[in-house]
Structure 1
Amino acid sequence: MTKQNIIAKAVKLALFATASVAFSTTAYAAEEGDDEEQQEEQAGVEVITVVGSRLKRNNVEGASPVLIITSDDMKEQGHTTVYDALNDLTINNGIQIEGPEFSNGFTPDIRTLNIRGFGVGNSLTLINGRRVANYPAAYQGSSSAVNFGAIPQAAIERIEVLSGGGSSIYGSDAVAGVINIVLKNDVDETTLNVVYGRPVEAEGDDYRIDLTTGAVSGNGNFTIGISYRQTDPISAGDYDKYDSNDDYPYQDIEPSTLNFDTYVLDRFAGQLVDPGDQCENFGSQRFLYSESLGYLCGRDNIALTNFRNEREQLSVFANGTYNVGETELFGELLYNSSESTVDRYSIFIQDRIYNGSEYYTVLRSFYEEDLQRSLDSFYEDDSFNVSFGARGYIGEHEWEASVYRSQYELESSRVRFKAQEAIDVFFGDFFTYVGSTPVFFGNGSFGLFDNLFAQIDDSNRDLVNSALGVQTYGNETSSTGTQFILRGDLWDMAAGPVSYAAILEYEKQELKFKPDELITQPPVFPYTSGSGWLGLTGYDGEGDRDRVAVGMEMNVPLHETFDLNVAARADKYDKDSSSIGTRVTPSIKYEWRPTDSVLFRGGYSESFRAPDLVQVYSRTGFYTTVTDLYSCWQGLGSPDTFDAVDDCVGTQIFARRLGPGEVGNEPLKDETGDTRWVGFVYDVTDDLTFQVDWQKVTLEDRVSQLSTSSLLFREFECLTDGVTITGSRPSQDLSDINCDQVSNLITRVFNEDTGVDEINSFNVTPRNISEESVETVDARLLYGFDIDYGRFDFQINYSHLLSHKFDGIELRDDPILGGWEPRTKINATAKYTYNDFGMALTMLREGSTTVYDPGHPLVQDGTLSDRVPPHFRYNLTTSYNWSSDFRTRLTIRDLFDNGAPRDRTIGPNAFPWYNNFVYGGAGIGREVYLEATYRF
């Protein structure tokens, strides 16, 4: 899409947003309301609703721990996007595999949260209390996720974060937390905001222009805004410390290594075929990979690695209300459109081939300068969230009715090799098949490599390009629903009224993966991926889900110091998308205020997550090497005992991942769990507040994809009786899968030549087979005091991981299985203000994590610790109000340019030589932003 199209969209959407607000402010004569809320406001008491409850109250701190981030907080802490602010939450301690540094991954253009390390799909995201559509591509190929990169910072009034389960209020997905994005409203001025920034060491400009306006009257209000952002790409080559493989920082342990560019591996000999002088033909260098393997060709491609993708983003938001008698009409809109480019400098072919006597694995990379064409990937996504409704009073009971629609569309394109054309160009005539591996006959030892390893020039460039094409996806997700809420007081007790909130809700979710024709065409190779793109499995599938829910929440003041809150919700799902039926989730929680300055709180809340629509409806597959236990056992003569490691060799198969219902297995159940918590809040003085909360979140029947090796082990148990296998044990307990179900997943055909039953088709499906629990302590300190020349304010947020268990294994202390979750995380801000001047310094500390490679020899012999030290970042902001209408701000992100912690177990090929699963974006370093805000 061109920039002119972006601007045209801006005009159209501004008109649509204006129409939306006009709809909610239809000209009717207004009457003064004298409802309960107005009476309370006149009495000086502000009543609010905060995430985690649908009841209105006059205290932000309640029975559930809630963190509120305002738009000013985000700016003061140096956050330039909504994602930055949420990513630095202390409760967001799980790894995320996404972003520019994962440009070859499934979802390089998404920004997600992984609260408590439970996974990106286990926290619920709302906009003004209503659900949003998921990102239309499968996160890491297997689940759904919300893209926080599609929510503009300019539209945010505040973000409310519930730490813990909330299914008794919101239903599915509210397992590890709930994020409620509250849009700006009640704006009575016009504001122009301009932001410009760039890294200190690179030339990647980042600028944003926001325009917001609105009006407030006795009849209602409206707010409308537009935000445009342009972000330039950043590459590793922009930095002296990342522009060459010679910059590898641990050369005292292991010398730097070129990136693999071209090689031929003799699989039987276990050695690389020496390329001799051929490396020069493709602009590469011949280098020794290892004494045991030999030589290959390589290039120094470090400088071409992405640190930030190019992006252009347009957002429009609107919010409005209008009073018609005693009824208030309202409407809300948030629209986002973005285009991004993922820089890809090369494309490669890697395959296993056979020359009539020996197997070889071959690799050849083709570069943009060789092909004289762009190999970049492009992503264009459009999303909108719109709702309309009305609210008012029936007697003393407040009601609200609304309808909403959230939709997300994604179009992506990427250059790939077409399967049949690549075979014709590079491998010659196709002869026959062995399992899923194509077999080729060449002319002489290396005749068959002539095309694959030919130098690219004017004589053959068109031939190579003829094997390339543009692979596309056009995915869609949506969420459409309606809500009716009724709340008020039921009766009076000695300590106060019993308040309630009831909800009736309907929602329909839809998912559609729309791959191009080459992905869905009949397979080029029988029993393989079913895709016309070489080496690409692809995704397809579509489906929907209907849900009806009813819920009730009550607050009972048992004593003037003690309130009990009880809630329950029933969600009924359609029969096609899952086997849930109706899921009831209750909760009970309490608030005890023995004094005005002390709050003790706690509770128990059940939670659940409905089966992910990606796992229910999508189809894909992957190549893998497995130990075929049954055919190995047959080939050994069916002994009573055999060793799976010493007696068997690996077999390459193509495993299809299908929905459970497609292979006759049971449909997925919902994942169910609970949250238990206790804590206290102590207002030591008017300026000093301290709070601590302990929490444990559990989830049973977690969905995991079946392990291929575990499934083969279960199949062996079904097909044999009393045979003992040594040397290997399954990683999953699949004893609950009966033998008929196993036979639906694995089919075999008898090979008369070998006398064994070989695998004909292999299917894996998601299953409810795991359990997980996380136990944490969160603490917060707020302190402020005045001095003669201004005021100091301090805020410290701290989270400590006490335990993280998965299927009974304590991941927190396991250097191998535990991954890289930090045990602690701190977000602390010190702020100073004096008249029109303000300054804030924010420290972001991630605790120690497991080293990148716990199996490294230096770790195994005790020379190195199995953990890396904590990671510190600092953001500094200064602001000045030049007048009541004009303000400027300077932001320096990563003030001291600390970079990621050094980890000497990272090898030379693991660029950017830090753990980017944990410290994504650390390579960009110090950034400086200037912001100017003017109110008309």
Structure 2
Amino acid sequence: MKKKLLSAAICTALVAPFAVGAAHAQDSQQATDIDKVVVTGSLIPQVEVETATPVQTITAEDIQRQGFRDVYDVLRSQPLATGAVQDAQFSGFTPSAEPISLLGLDPGFTLVLIDGRPIADYPLLYNGQSNFVDLASIPTSMVERIDIAPGNQSAIYGSSAIAGVVNIILKKRVDGTSLGLRIGGYEEGGGGNVRFQLTGGHSAGNFDLVYGLQYIDQDAIYGFDRKDFDSTNDNPDPTLRFGSRTFLRSLGNGRYIDPGAATCAGLGNLYNSTTIYDTRPGRGNYCGSRAEPGFSSIQNKEEAIAGYLNAGYDLSDNAELYGMLLVNRAKTENNGGSRFWQPSIDTGGFIINDNTGRFESFQHIFAPEETGGLDTNNERITSDSYNFAAGVKGTFGSSMWDYDAYYARSEYKVKSRQLWALKAEIEDFFRDQFLGPQLGEYYGYPIYAPNEAAFYQALTPEQYRSFNSEIKSDSETWTHNLNFQLTNTELFNLPAGPVGFAAVLQVGEQSWENPTDPRVVNGEFWGLTGTQGAGERTNEAVAMEFRVPIFSMLTANASVRYDHYKNKGLNSDDDTTYKVGLEFRPIESLLFRGNYATAFKAPDMAYVFAGDSGFFTFVTDYYRCATEEPGVPIDECTFSGSEQVFGNRSGSPDLQSITAKSWGYGVVWSPTPNFDISADYYNIKIDNKVSDMSLDQLMQTEAACRLGDLDPSSPTCVDALARVGRASATAPEPFQVQSIETNPINISKEEVSGILASANYRWNTDGWGTFSVGLQYNVTLDHESQQFPQDPVIDLLSEPFYSSEFRTITSLSLGWNTDKWNATLYTVRYGQTPNFEAQLLEEGYEGSLDAKRVDAYYRVNTTLGYQFTENASLTLTVNNLLNEDPPDDPTWTTYPYYNIFNYSGYGRSYMLEMNWQF
């Protein structure tokens, strides 16, 4: 009920002024000649910028004056970007990439375009599973504007446009040449950066050229650069303020074997002289460093250069030859933290110590002084991408038929290089170092007679390098297509006006290749697994769109598109999607709109073509709970969520398209060119969503088959029993789960709805310049998902174990401009999100969810610019003006003690930029 009241309140507030405004509005206005333009969400050029599809636009001026660092920063700051994502703060699967999540949906559900053309996916996989577009490769200096159209847009653009479309429009006209030099850094240290930009344009007769160059050099930010998470002493839980166990010897019961203070003193130089004789309550004493977690990076070291060319040549009055090329090369370095070693990784690090006759484990975390420097283990990624298009467009004779025929290609290559320990070599090294020769085996556990004193010795960099090897991975994606488009803004005339028409024919192909170093897949590296796969897909499409004036106040838009794609060597699929929109203008300044659309997403290449890939996970062993602890509640069973197993995942060649439906309605009121206000409701429902098989459901099914509750010979049981690998009955832990196999399937559902509202006002004064105010607000009313038909529907806004997305995001921009000065204050308010404790509700925590939220987070950017001359200006930008840290969360006790998928710990930054015009 509250959500319905909120929706009604926003719409009422917007409509209320109409009663007054309409009384004074003129029924007719002086006609003006306005050029027709193509707007995002439609193929037909038209006069009206506001159509049946709500579109948010961020201009190049907005990017400059609102303090955004790059295109990713622009889009992540928009109210529609409510979802948490893995970006450069996360040292995981894609540490150099920057995706966004519109409306809290998967990053792959947003179609990212450049000038209306698709771009290649990032070659590495988001969360090790799916494809997405990386925004880090798009230089800001070449951007004219960015349009965001939420909701289903497949009837115009094809696959993946479910959450919406981000259309990045590059500059096509530039007068003169502009040079820009920006230097910046962070108040708390690290992250120093330089950016150089050159853009220009030239016209000569029938030839037009726009060119651009951008260079960026950025230093890394490490955890030790930030006082709030440079040490485990910053842990919000005082009982967890003990050091990382850099040298640890422990018993099978978890108790530590005391090395003595003198032993730790001999290692005191490690981790910049922070290694001490430390204590973990309830476990015992050991040698450790409380500063160790801070030796990982939270922002990449990066060097990037991008170039842009856009050319046009008038063949005649009715035809233009054009081309565009955007290239980018970036080199990034990411430090994911320290590496460590334990003996016998296949037995959880435990051995039988022949000297004591006990189960024991050893752990050694390698310090920078041992590895040869802080950057020795950095993952070094070189990314090369380009987007190219060439074509001819014009008009057939003196008719109203316009055409555009072009070829477009986009490619993205990633070379990853990283040093990692080889399994056999590191085991041999530590046998020689202190374990000694293996003396035998006891139920799979190796027996050694170690020299305990030799364990507590630091390595030399030469020793460390002796058991490491470089992992090399060269991955690539590309997509290209031939496109022919016809448009006619006056196909024929109705009493209410001309009918517009557009048609598209398209053929294309895309490829994904992620050939991970085969030694990784074969398990030759210590404690490491990886993803791999390769495949190609062809596609063909035909689409039509009509814009029909039904009567003077009502216009209808209708589009339909048929897509067919084939996974080479595998299956094929096709989908027909459509979109219908209505625009009702009772007066010139007032628009009521509504739309209904269907969409589809071809399953990610990685979901279809992924080869065998490994991962580690924890599962609940329902079988052992039933047989070894009968009658014990499942959440109290010893084997509940505590069994760590090695998993194997592969693609599924039989996947079909994900389908979706969306609808929305809204109102726009713009009584003057300087004032507009709008509100729109959106609803998106997704079916046949691809998800990996539920491991928990698989474990339950496997247990039922073993216990005889299901027929063991049934296809269900044959499949489940084959997927779960167990130890034998005579193993040290009989029937322990050792492996599990999974793959993606088309079975999940998801639905999201919300309201997007905006208001803009601009006014001029005689002596104080021009002022402007811009407000945007997005509230998610509902967001639900269901992974399997037998599962309960999950409320993602109320069960934060599954999601930490923002329910509300509000942005406010205040601007001021005179002949010499300009200033902007841009504020984004991110609403409350669940704290870490709330995210563990599904693990048995009881209590009120309302008490388990962190405060709203405010980010304030400000810019102040001064125009020295007509051709020279200086701009000071301060991002995170209030130096807001991520919201306090006493329950987030894992490093870096805040939710890195929602917030950043960078702090306040300063940038000074000088621009020259020639």
Q: TM-score range by the shorter chain?
A: 0.7 to 0.9
Who is 1:933 aligned against?
Answer: 915
Q: Higher mean Cα deviation, 738-747 or 308-317?
A: 738-747
Alignment of 1:21-100 (within 5 A): 44-99=33-88
Specify every segment of 5 or more residues in structure 1 that has no aligned partner in the other structure, as ranges: 1-41, 521-529, 662-666, 725-735
Structure 2 SS opposite 1:173: coil
How far 1:770 moved relative to its partner? 1.4
Cα 1:813/1:407, change in 2 over 3 Å: closer
* Contact residue 635 and residue 756 of structure 1 kept, 8 A: no
Query: How far apart in 2 are the matches of 1:723 and 1:219?
Result: 77
Alignment of 1:594-743 (within 5 A): 594-619=586-611, 620-629=613-622, 646=637, 652-661=644-653, 667-718=654-705, 721-722=708-709, 738-739=716-717, 741-742=719-720
- Deviation string 1:683-723 (CA, Å, 9 cap, x unpaired) is 13342211000001111121111232311222344455437
How far 1:468 moved relative to its partner? 1.3
How far 1:241 moved relative to its partner? 4.5
Which amino acid is 2:579 matched to? Answer: S
Who is 1:286 aligned against?
Answer: 277
Structure 1 SS opposite 2:608: helix
Cα 1:433/1:628, change in 2 over 3 Å: farther
Who is 1:508 aligned against?
Answer: 509
Structure 1 SS opposite 2:668: strand
How far 1:739 moved relative to its partner? 4.3
- Deviation string 1:452-478 (CA, Å, 9 cap, x unpaired) is x341256xx534431112112111111
Identity rate, percent: 28
Who is 2:417 aligned against?
Answer: 413
Q: Does 1:306 align with 2:297?
A: yes
Q: Does 1:355 align with 2:341?
A: no
Structure 2 SS opposite 1:519: helix
Alignment of 1:511-550 (within 5 A): 511-520=512-521, 530-550=522-542
Structure 2 SS opposite 1:441: strand
Structure 1 SS opposite 2:851: coil
Who is 1:439 aligned against?
Answer: 445
Who is 1:257 aligned against?
Answer: 242
Who is 1:525 aligned against?
Answer: none
* Contact residue 589 and residue 601 of structure 1 kept, 8 A: yes
* Contact residue 187 and residue 216 of structure 1 kept, 8 A: no
Who is 2:5 aligned against?
Answer: none
* Contact residue 261 and residue 299 of structure 1 kept, 8 A: no
Query: How far apart in 2 are the matches of 1:694 and 1:863?
Result: 27
Query: How far apart in 2 are the matches of 1:720 and 1:457?
Result: 51
How far 1:75 moved relative to its partner? 0.8
Query: How far apart in 2 are the matches of 1:648 and 1:548?
Result: 51
* Contact residue 563 and residue 591 of structure 1 kept, 8 A: yes
How far 1:320 moved relative to its partner? 1.1
Cα 1:627/1:843, change in 2 over 3 Å: closer
- Among 161, 165, 176, the residue aligned to 1:178: 165
- Among 873, 878, 883, the residue aligned to 2:864: 878
Query: How far apart in 2 are the matches of 1:303 and 1:757?
Result: 40
Who is 2:892 aligned against?
Answer: 906
Q: Does 1:318 align with 2:309?
A: yes
How far 1:399 moved relative to its partner? 1.0
Who is 2:763 aligned against?
Answer: 785
How far 1:309 moved relative to its partner? 1.8
Structure 2 SS opposite 1:212: strand
- Among 835, 838, 842, the residue aligned to 1:851: 835
Query: How far apart in 1 are the matches of 2:694 and 2:359?
Result: 27
Structure 2 SS opposite 1:778: strand
* Contact residue 746 and residue 763 of structure 1 kept, 8 A: yes
Query: How far apart in 2 are the matches of 1:647 and 1:287?
Result: 30
Which amino acid is 1:355 matched to? Answer: I
* Contact residue 233 and residue 290 of structure 2 kept, 8 A: no
Who is 2:776 aligned against?
Answer: 797
Which amino acid is 2:297 matched to? Answer: N
- RMSD, aligned CA: 3.1
Cα 1:298/1:681, change in 2 over 3 Å: same
Alignment of 1:425-464 (within 5 A): 425-427=429-431, 429=437, 439-443=445-449, 446-447=450-451, 453-457=455-459, 462-464=462-464
Q: Higher mean Cα deviation, 923-932 or 326-335?
A: 923-932
Alignment of 1:81-120 (within 5 A): 81-99=70-88, 101-103=89-91, 105-120=92-107
* Contact residue 165 and residue 605 of structure 1 kept, 8 A: yes
Alignment of 1:819-838 (within 5 A): 819-838=803-822
Aligned residue pair count = 852
Who is 1:12 aligned against?
Answer: none
Q: Does 1:163 align with 2:156?
A: no
Structure 1 SS opposite 2:448: coil
* Contact residue 896 and residue 926 of structure 1 kept, 8 A: yes
Query: How far apart in 1 are the matches of 2:589 and 2:850?
Result: 49
How far 1:646 moved relative to its partner? 3.9
* Contact residue 627 and residue 644 of structure 1 kept, 8 A: no
* Contact residue 859 and residue 865 of structure 1 kept, 8 A: no
Query: How far apart in 2 are the matches of 1:163 and 1:902?
Result: 32
Cα 1:281/1:617, change in 2 over 3 Å: farther
* Contact residue 811 and residue 827 of structure 2 kept, 8 A: yes
- Deviation string 1:471-526 (CA, Å, 9 cap, x unpaired) is 12111111111111111133211111111111111121111112224225xxxxxx
Query: How far apart in 1 are the matches of 2:635 and 2:224?
Result: 47
Query: How far apart in 2 are the matches of 1:329 and 1:433?
Result: 75
- Among 871, 875, 897, the residue aligned to 1:889: 875
Structure 2 SS opposite 1:369: helix
- Deviation string 1:347-386 (CA, Å, 9 cap, x unpaired) is 2124423434755454311112123252222111100011
Q: Does 1:377 align with 2:379?
A: yes
How far 1:82 moved relative to its partner? 1.1
What TM-score comes out, normalization by structure 2 length? 0.87
Structure 1 SS opposite 2:838: coil
Cα 1:864/1:571, change in 2 over 3 Å: closer
Who is 1:573 aligned against?
Answer: 565
Q: Does 1:149 align with 2:136?
A: yes
Structure 2 SS opposite 1:272: coil
* Contact residue 191 and residue 212 of structure 1 kept, 8 A: yes
How far 1:335 moved relative to its partner? 0.3
Structure 2 SS opposite 1:924: coil
* Contact residue 224 and residue 291 of structure 2 kept, 8 A: no
Structure 2 SS opposite 1:440: strand
Which amino acid is 1:925 matched to? Answer: G
* Contact residue 272 and residue 296 of structure 1 kept, 8 A: no
- Deviation string 1:183-208 (CA, Å, 9 cap, x unpaired) is 11122311111111112232532111
Cα 1:721/1:690, change in 2 over 3 Å: same
Cα 1:172/1:360, change in 2 over 3 Å: farther
* Contact residue 780 and residue 808 of structure 2 kept, 8 A: yes
How far 1:408 moved relative to its partner? 0.6
Who is 1:14 aligned against?
Answer: none
* Contact residue 815 and residue 866 of structure 1 kept, 8 A: no
Query: How far apart in 2 are the matches of 1:902 and 1:759?
Result: 39
- Among 894, 897, 901, the residue aligned to 1:917: 901
Query: How far apart in 1 are the matches of 2:733 and 2:306?
Result: 64
* Contact residue 94 and residue 118 of structure 1 kept, 8 A: yes
Query: How far apart in 1 are the matches of 2:709 and 2:898?
Result: 49
Who is 1:474 aligned against?
Answer: 474
Cα 1:683/1:363, change in 2 over 3 Å: same
How far 1:893 moved relative to its partner? 0.9
* Contact residue 477 and residue 511 of structure 1 kept, 8 A: yes
Query: How far apart in 2 are the matches of 1:456 and 1:393?
Result: 75
How far 1:760 moved relative to its partner? 8.0
